[in-house]
């Protein structure tokens, strides 16, 4: 049986690439005759370029400004297999929360900027990229993309440099730039902003939106995805980007549809499998594709927060939690790689192609 292993990341515990390898080890230990294929997934957030690099392009590294100005080494990907090269940039590589060097605070929420993302785009332009895809997610910033625009030479220069480039904002976030559901109000607290700081960030981005409106010739702030990555989405949209689901970008770039069609079983997963998962995230997209092709899907997760009926209604053959086999959340997180391998081996040992128990859950 051909098994396609295509998880998203397990939060901060395991990257998608690491999770796919752990599952593959466990599955192959119990069923060595199966043809196991790893195809890690991403929605554009942390791990975006690593996931793509597992299937295409050449990884490159550039030293750029981190979220607080200190230099960081950021990876990006260049796929020059076609006549029009494509660059894949992950904003978290340059301005991610993990680059802060500690916990986010109101000070970092105000100070963090996207300069490094613009510097990565300059690198991509210098390498001849005709298309630049920017994965959005996991940022420490709420600057509306001001730093990125400045790194490209300012508003007018940025627009000119990107005029002949196909620009893509890869994100599943639909939030606008401003207001109750905007970048500062919704995501600011996750980046260390207290209520007073949220108000400051909102005022600052309201002012910055005037510049974005001038660049675009329309009000970008109300468009879906403008609030992604602390408003970096808005700046990209103002410069002519199309917003495409990050999961779709990865699926198309890596040939996921063909992988699913060729599989006898699809295994996916993420940190917490809950109701949000079923609303357009990677696991939901994979499940829908597999179900349409008549192929069973199994989900591995750190924790499973859905009932058996909800799992069955989603068309999933089984959902299994690391915490159940590890015995505690602490062990599940601190020993995630080993525990996920154990879980995959146990499920594989019990798996029968002719006896799919729809909607099962547990270890």
For residue 120, which phi and psi values (nearest 5 degrees)?
A: -65, -40
Alpha carbon distance 54, 250 (integer Å): 11
Dihedral of alpha carbons 321, 313, 20, 57, sign: negative
Domain ranges, ordered by start, for the chain: 2-42+255-361, 48-244
pTM of the model: 0.87
Contact 106, 193 (CB under 8 A): yes
pLDDT for the residue numbered 172: 86
Neighbour count for residue 102 (Cβ, 10 Å): 6
Residue for token pair 């515990």? 13
CATH entry, 2-42+255-361, from 3.40.50.1820, 1.10.10.10, 3.40.50.10350, 3.30.360.10: 3.40.50.10350
Alpha carbon distance 32, 9 (integer Å): 25
CATH entry, 48-244, from 3.90.1510.10, 3.30.300.90, 3.30.420.40, 3.90.1150.10: 3.90.1510.10
Q: CA of 262: how far to CAs of 7, 167, 352, in Å?
A: 17, 32, 18
Q: pLDDT tens, position by position, for the chain (363 residues)?
A: 999 999 999 988 899 999 999 999 999 999 999 999 999 998 888 899 999 998 899 999 999 999 999 999 999 999 998 889 999 999 999 999 999 999 999 999 999 999 999 999 999 999 999 999 999 999 999 999 999 999 999 999 999 999 999 999 999 889 999 999 999 999 999 999 999 999 999 999 999 999 999 999 999 999 999 999 999 999 999 999 999 999 899 999 888 899 999 999 999 999 888 877 666 578 888 888 898 889 999 999 999 888 888 888 888 899 999 999 888 888 988 899 999 999 999 999 998 765 444 445 555
The tokens for 152 are 């490209």
């Amino acid at each position: 049986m051909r098994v396609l292993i295509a998880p998203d990341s397990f939060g901060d515990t395991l990257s998608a690439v690491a999770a796919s390898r752990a599952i593959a080890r466990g599955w192959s230990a119990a069923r060595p005759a199966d043809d196991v294929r790893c195809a890690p997934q991403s929605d554009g957030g942390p791990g975006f370029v690593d996931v793509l690099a597992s299937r295409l392009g050449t990884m490159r590294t550039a030293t750029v400004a981190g979220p607080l100005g200190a230099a960081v080494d950021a990876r990006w990907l260049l796929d020059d297999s076609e006549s029009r090269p494509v660059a894949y940039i992950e904003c978290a590589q340059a301005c991610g929360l993990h680059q802060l060097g500690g916990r986010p605070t109101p000070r970092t929420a105000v100070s963090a900027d996207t300069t490094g993302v613009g510097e990565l785009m300059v690198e991509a332009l210098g390498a001849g990229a005709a298309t630049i895809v920017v994965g959005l997610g996991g940022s420490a910033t709420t600057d509306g993309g001001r730093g990125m625009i400045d790194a490209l030479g300012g508003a007018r220069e940025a627009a000119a440099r990107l005029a002949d480039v196909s620009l893509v904002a890869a994100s599943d976030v639909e939030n606008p730039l401003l207001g109750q559901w905007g970048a500062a109000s919704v995501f600011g607290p996750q980046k260390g902003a207290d209520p007073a700081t949220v108000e400051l960030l909102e005022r600052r981005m309201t002012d910055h939106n005037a510049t974005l409106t001038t660049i675009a010739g329309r009000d970008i702030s109300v468009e879906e995805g403008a609030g992604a990555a602390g408003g970096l989405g808005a700046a990209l949209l103002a410069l002519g980007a199309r917003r495409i689901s990050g999961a779709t970008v990865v699926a198309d770039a890596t040939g996921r549809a063909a992988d699913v069609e060729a599989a006898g079983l699809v295994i996916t997963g993420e940190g917490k499998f809950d109701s949000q998962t079923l609303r357009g995230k990677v696991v939901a997209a994979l499940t829908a594709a597999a179900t349409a092709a008549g192929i069973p899907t199994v989900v591995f997760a750190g924790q499973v927060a859905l009932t058996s009926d909800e799992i069955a209604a989603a068309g999933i053959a089984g959902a299994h939690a690391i915490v159940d086999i590890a015995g505690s959340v602490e062990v599940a997180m601190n020993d995630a790689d080993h525990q996920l391998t154990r879980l995959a081996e146990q499920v594989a040992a019990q798996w029968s192609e002719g006896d799919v128990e729809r909607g099962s859950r547990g270890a």
